[in-house]
Structure 1
Amino acid sequence: MIHLILGGARSGKSRYGLAVASALAIQQGVDQYFVATATPFDDEMTSRIERHQQERGEDWQLAEVPLALAEYLNQQSGTGVILVDCLTLWLNNQFYHLPEQDFPALFAQMTQALQQCRMDVVLIANEIGFGVVPAGGVSRAFVDQAGWLNQALAAIADRVTLVVAGLPLTVKEV
C-alpha cells in the first residue's frame, strides 16, 4: 500500500503521517521505519529536525536517506511500515546533485521502487503549487519538478490525502 500525504508548510501533514503509519504498524504488528530526507544545513533546519524527532518519539527505526531513496526502498525485503518525510526535501537535495533533465528518470526509478516494495509506505510531500508562479528560474523549476513528482506518486498511490489546517481530506482512495 502506498499512501501519499500532501500539504503546505505547517499544515499538520507530518503529524498525520506519523499517526497513519503508527496505526498501520500496530494493526499489522510490524516495525515502524522512519526515513528522514532532511539535512541540517543551518540552525533553523536543525531545529525543525529536532522538533520532528520529539514528535515521533523513539518507537521508530531511523534511516537518514537524503538522496538514494529508490535504492533504500529496493533494499527493503522484510515486513513493516515505512514513513518517508519528506519528498520535497529529498527533491531539494537532488537539485544540488543532478541536472534537471535527469529528473524524469529519477521519478521513474522512485515510482518503480515504490510499486515493487513489499512494505506499506507512507509518503509526505509539500503541495507547493497553490501559490503564485515564482519569479526566479530556479524556483520555478523546483515548483515544476515538485508538481510533476507529486503527480507521478499520486498516480501510483492507493491513497492520497491532502492535509489543510491539520485536517485530512481524502483525495484518492482505491
Structure 2
Amino acid sequence: MTGSLPPLTLVIGGARSGKSAFAEGLVAGSGRPRRYIATAEAWDDEMRDRIARHRADRGTGWITVEAPLDLAAALAAVRAEEAVLVDCATLWLTNHLLADHDIAAETGRLLAALSDCPAPVVIVSNETGWGIVPENALARRFRDEQGRLNQRLAGDADLVVAVMAGLPMVLKSSLP
C-alpha cells in the first residue's frame, strides 16, 4: 500500500507479526517527510538492542521523537506536511499502567490529539486478546485495557489493517 494516507490508520497484530515493518512501509510510501514517535523505554540491555534494531531497520530519513508517556504533546508538534508513525500504543499503555496513571483520561488525551493532528498518523498496536487468560491481576488489567484502547483506536481510524505472519489484511477502510 503506497500513496496517500488517511487521517488515521491503525495497524494491529500479534508480537513479531510484521506490523511495524508494514506500518513503516505505509509511511515511507506516502512520499511525505517521515516522523517516528517512539513509545518504548530502554529499561534493560535486551530492550536497548530491540530499539537499536528497529532504528537500523527503519534506515535514514526519519525524524525520531521519543514520547513514552506524552503522545499528545508529540502529536501536537507534528507539521501538516509530514506523515507520522506512532510505534506503539501497547508500550504507551504499559508505561501509563506501570506509572499508575488514569488510563481513561490518558486515552481521551491520546484520541483527541490523534483527531487534532494536522498530518496523517499510522499507529501500531498489539492484539492481546487471543491468548490465554493471564494469571495475575496486573496482566489481566493490561489485556483488558489494551482491548478497550484498540477498540477506541479502530473506531476512530479510517483504515485498520491486521498483520499476521507478515500478511496485511484490511479490516476497515473508508478509502475509495
Q: TM-score range by the shorter chain?
A: over 0.9
Q: Residues 66-104 of structure 1: CA distance to partner in whole angstroms, max 9, x if unpaired?
A: 1000122123243200001111011111112234xx211
The count of residues paired between Structure 1 and Structure 2 equals: 168
Matching residue within 38, 49, 60 for 1:36: 38
AA aligned to 1:34 is Y
The residue number in structure 2 matching 1:68 is 70
How far 1:47 sits from its partner (Å)?
1.3
Is the 2:37–2:74 Cα contact (8 Å) retained in structure 1?
no
Q: Does 1:165 align with 2:165?
A: yes
| 1:93-172 superposed matches below 5 A | 93-99=95-101, 102-172=102-172
CA distance in 2, matches of 1:112, 1:154: 14
Is the 2:97–2:103 Cα contact (8 Å) retained in structure 1?
no
How far 1:57 sits from its partner (Å)?
0.4
AA aligned to 1:124 is V
Matching residue within 80, 83, 88 for 1:78: 80
Q: Structure 1: which 5+ runs fail to align?
A: none
Would you tell me which structure has more helix in proportion to its own residues? 1
CA distance in 1, matches of 2:108, 2:75: 13
AA aligned to 2:64 is L
CA distance in 1, matches of 2:75, 2:59: 23
Question: Alignment RMSD, CA only?
Answer: 1.0
Using structure 2 for the length normalisation, give the TM-score: 0.92
Q: Structure 2: which 5+ runs fail to align?
A: 1-6
Q: Which deviates more, 5-14 or 89-98?
A: 89-98
The residue number in structure 2 matching 1:6 is 12
What SS does structure 2 have at the residue aligned with 1:40? coil
Identity percentage over the alignment? 41
The residue number in structure 1 matching 2:47 is 45
CA distance in 2, matches of 1:103, 1:53: 28
